[in-house]
């Protein structure tokens, strides 16, 4: 009597897994295209979409890129490029898609762990204990990265609502720290 139930649970898991792979694949394509755009676009070039109402169009020299960038927000070490008026919207979307993607991967991993059942043939879905440990580690890693992306999204959403950029925020925080000390 337990075999049909185990088969049913495993079958339902496979339907859930296959159903979640379509949005996962689409999010991966969007994430990779945004990443490539961020790496290939020149942040010092003219153009871009104004995201913040008070977004500065003043120029700032980035000593890392060695470029004068219009609408400078910050230099991103992970992308190895400046984030500016030209690519800020794509940067923000990259963070949002990254957060959703990694949380979806966490859910898929947790589903795989939860439905670690034997199918009707007696074979298991990644039957080895090492395989299950890898799913657990992968889910934990994905969750941590998802939290990091969510933190970026939250911080930049706050900055958008305040109408300031990252560079402006850092300068203002530095000035506030120096005035409170004196």
For residues 141 and 4, the model is more confident at 141
For residues 42 and 17, what is the distance between their CA atoms, to the nearest angstrom? Answer: 39
Per-residue pLDDT at 5 exceeds 60: no
The pLDDT tens digits of the residues spanning 65-113 come to 888 888 888 899 998 899 988 888 999 999 999 999 999 989 888 887 7
Residues 19-31 pLDDT 10s: 667 888 899 999 9
C-beta neighbour count of 51 within 10 angstroms: 18
State the Cα–Cα distance between residues 114 and 144, nearest whole angstrom: 19
What contacts 152, CB < 8 A, 6 or more positions away? 95, 99
Domain locations along the chain: 2-181
Specify whether the CB–CB gap between 101 and 33 falls below 8 A. Answer: no
Residue 4 has pLDDT above 70, yes or no: no
97 and 89 Cβ atoms separated by less than 8 Å: no
Are the beta carbons of 119 and 10 closer than 8 angstroms? yes
């Amino acid at each position: 009597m337990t075999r049909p139930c185990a088969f049913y649970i495993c079958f339902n898991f496979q339907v859930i897994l296959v159903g979640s792979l379509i949005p996962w694949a689409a999010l991966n394509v969007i994430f990779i295209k945004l990443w490539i755009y961020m790496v290939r676009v020149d942040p010092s070039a003219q153009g871009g979409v104004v995201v913040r109402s008070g977004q500065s169009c003043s120029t700032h020299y980035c000593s890392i890129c060695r470029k004068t960038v219009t609408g400078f927000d910050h230099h991103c070490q992970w992308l190895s490029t400046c984030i500016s008026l030209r690519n800020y919207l794509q940067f923000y979307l990259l963070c949002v898609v990254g957060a959703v993607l990694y949380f979806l991967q966490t859910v898929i991993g947790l589903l795989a762990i939860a439905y670690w059942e034997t199918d009707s043939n007696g074979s298991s879905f990644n039957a080895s204990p090492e395989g299950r440990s890898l799913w657990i580690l992968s889910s934990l890693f994905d969750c941590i990265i998802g939290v990091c992306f969510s933190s970026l999204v939250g911080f930049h959403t706050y900055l958008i609502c305040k109408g300031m950029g990252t560079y402006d925020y850092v300068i203002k925080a530095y000035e506030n720290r120096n005035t409170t000390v004196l």
